[in-house]
A and B are shown apart, each in its own frame.
Chain A
Amino acid sequence: MSDKATGNAVVPAQARRAEHERARGAEHEPALELRDLTRHFGPVRAVDGVTLSVGRGEVVGLVGESGSGKSTVGRIAVRLDEPTSGSVHIAGTDVTSLSRRRLRPLRRKFHLVFQDPSSSLDPRMTIAEIIAEPLKLHRIAKGDEARRRVEKLLRQVGLRPEQADRHPHQLSGGQRQRVSIARALSCEPDLVVADEPTSALDVSVQASVLNLMADLQRDRGFGCLFITHDLAAVEFLADRIAVMYLGQIVEQAPTAGLFADPKHPYTQALLSAAPVPDPAAQRTRERIVLSGELPSPLHPPSGCRFHTRCPLAVDRCGTEIPALRILPDGQRQAACHLVAEDGTAPDASAATVQN
């Protein structure tokens, strides 16, 4: 409710101007800033206190398994959903509780790419119409100018100009995802939230879409929140990774550091469970087997939410909530009682080894 100052009576044109000025003064603001976000669906605490920022031109990977709340965070970040509490700032503007009408002019600044391009593209529209739609809605371009922009975007995402007049069903899954990406980038957004953009694609197609996203991100410099369960994909694309478990972030680190030295036992388990495509290596790896199942977010465990499945849990873990604390290197965060003051991580594989 921090936008009360601008009032409800402001006419849209003035609001737009005001937003514009505020945004200009905020060039150095992060592309996305989530502060202490919670989202409760009735008694279900889907997201419970997430603080995360995505810098301009930075790719942040948000990793977690089903039910971790990662997609809910993504939906809130692009205001497809409203948080129960906490705030969402996009490029310095508080969008947490803006009305639909006030939000509309801002929507050009952020865009969501969904997992399944066949259900997020209108089957009755041509590819050109799909890509041009945001340009028209935001009155950025129309007519020949829009057409020129669409052609350029098609080229940039690796599609041929003659495909502009096709319909989504005439394209392959990988090509459809390229169309989604072109649409997301048409208004030159500050922030792209991509929710499992490559999960429905085949291996070879996934490689080309990931390459494309890396290229575009480098050229255009948009901030990107990349939500996925695929650790290898996130390692490829992200500068920094946040790991979620049961509605909370349990660890955050620069990509290389997270893979080289995962601190939280859950991160360690996750990394050890992802099979590597090399039979000799895969069959000799140590695997951390988690006991039990993901607890219900209706009744999250007391203390550390992971303690019911953690192979290393001690008494304290069941009673005392571990804070997400900054480790001595200043770049990493972990929420675990067993991570030492100097940042030394516990070794979950020592507790349950199974190869």
Chain B
Amino acid sequence: MTESVLKVTDLSVSFRSGERTVHAVDGISYEVRPGEVLAVVGESGCGKSVTSMAAMGLLPPTATVTGSVQLGGRELVGASEKELARVRGKDLAMIFQEPMTSLNPVLTVGRQVGEVLRRHQGLSRRQATERAVELLDLVGIPAPRRRVGEYPHQLSGGMRQRVMIAIAVACDPSVLIADEPTTALDVTVQAGILDVLRSLRERLGTAIVLITHDLGVVADIADRVMVMYAGRVVEHGEVHELYAKPRHPYTNGLLGAVLKPGAEGKRRLPEIPGLVPSLEAQPDACTFAPRCPRATEKCGTARPRLDRAACWHPHEVEAR
């Protein structure tokens, strides 16, 4: 088995706000190997984005981060801004949901792709532009030589996201964190972006951490899946296995509630009753228990350990 490139161990993130402390991420661990696509799945507020922002060192000063994030053996938690600046964009890159807000509207696309190269690889302006053309070609932008001179507003949403990916992979990072990269895009455009991510993984061996709420996207591209609920990992596993035989009742509920195009008819959708718990406490209990059809007394008094699923009463293999 190859060495993992990104290793997160017992990561916790909490935010102070006045008297309250919100525990957004509560002791999560995971690893990603080269060329692997790990999907981090969960609903809003489950901590999936905070996890990666912590790895990138992009959280505001109100956040307290404990635990460890190791990138190729280098510790990122507690690293100085200077150290992080050397890593970000070079070894560890990130793309976000909305490319328009991440791109600078007054600089050409070529300049923005080139900036990373000039900064991290010391290329000249001309070399950087040449390389930018290659990168735009790599992410499937037609007529890249013309496009380098264009501004973000001249591109469609899908093309902008491709530019973001080109910037992210410019320095051949070992890990690419993609936070909802296709959520703002149309399905026909989304398919193209997923193809780009797939080809990066195959051609460059980039490890990809894909943060998404879309179980269709996960089914399309992920090798492994990590399901988060209220700041904790409730289940993880190989993608086919997890979809076919979810063990945790929350995973089971999510997969039941998701709409399946071409198979809907007039059925009633299974719902998950209740609401996500407040993140102010870190109870020694299963935090899904109040909404769980399988919960017993034990679930309210002891936190289940994460095996494949963090559950005292997991669905057995034949479930569903």
Contacts and interface: CB of A to CB of B under 8 A. Distances in A.
A206 B214 CA distance: 12
B43 A235 contact: no
A172 B43 CA distance: 12
Contacts of A281: 219
B191 A204 contact: no
Contacts of A233: 259
Contacts of B255: 277
A193 to B, nearest CB: 21
Interface of B: 43-44, 156-159, 186-192, 213-220, 222, 239-240, 243-244, 253-255, 257-272, 275-276
Given A204-B43, A236-B259, 13 more contacts: A203-B43, A203-B254, A206-B259, A207-B257, A207-B270, A210-B259, A232-B264, A235-B262, A236-B266, A256-B265, A271-B261, A277-B255, A289-B192
A115 to B, nearest CB: 13
Given A232-B259, A278-B260, A279-B243, A207 B44 contact: no
Given A173-B44, A233-B259, A274-B216, A207 B271 contact: yes
A277 B219 contact: yes
A11 interface: no
Contacts of A275: 187, 190-191, 214, 216-217, 219-220
A271 B188 CA distance: 9
Interface in A230-282: 230-233, 235-236, 256, 259, 269-271, 273-282
Contacts of B269: 207-208, 210-211, 236
A331 interface: no
29 contacts: A66-B186, A202-B44, A203-B254, A204-B43, A207-B257, A232-B262, A235-B261, A235-B262, A236-B259, A236-B267, A256-B265, A259-B264, A269-B188, A270-B187, A274-B187, A275-B191, A275-B216, A275-B217, A276-B263, A277-B216, A277-B218, A279-B218, A279-B220, A279-B240, A280-B244, A282-B216, A289-B191, A290-B188, A293-B156
Given A211-B271, A273-B190, A273-B191, A204 B257 contact: yes
B190 A276 contact: no
Interface of A: 65-66, 172-173, 202-208, 210-211, 214, 229-233, 235-236, 256, 259, 269-271, 273-283, 287, 289-290, 293-294
B146 to A, nearest CB: 14
B271 A277 contact: no
Contacts of A202: 43-44, 213
B188 A273 contact: yes
B320 to A, nearest CB: 12
A273 B158 contact: no
B165 to A, nearest CB: 17
B262 A259 contact: yes
B317 to A, nearest CB: 17
Contacts of A280: 240, 243-244
B44 A277 contact: no
A276 B186 CA distance: 15
Contacts of B189: 65
A208 to B, nearest CB: 4
A173 B45 CA distance: 11
A197 B186 CA distance: 17
Nearest to A233: B259
A214 B268 CA distance: 9
B260 A294 contact: no
Contact of B261 (A205, A207, A211, A274): A274
A312 to B, nearest CB: 16
B261 A231 contact: yes
A202 B46 CA distance: 11
Contact of B157 (A66, A236, A271, A274): A66
A290 B257 CA distance: 30
A269 B239 CA distance: 26
A204 B254 contact: yes
Contacts of B253: 204
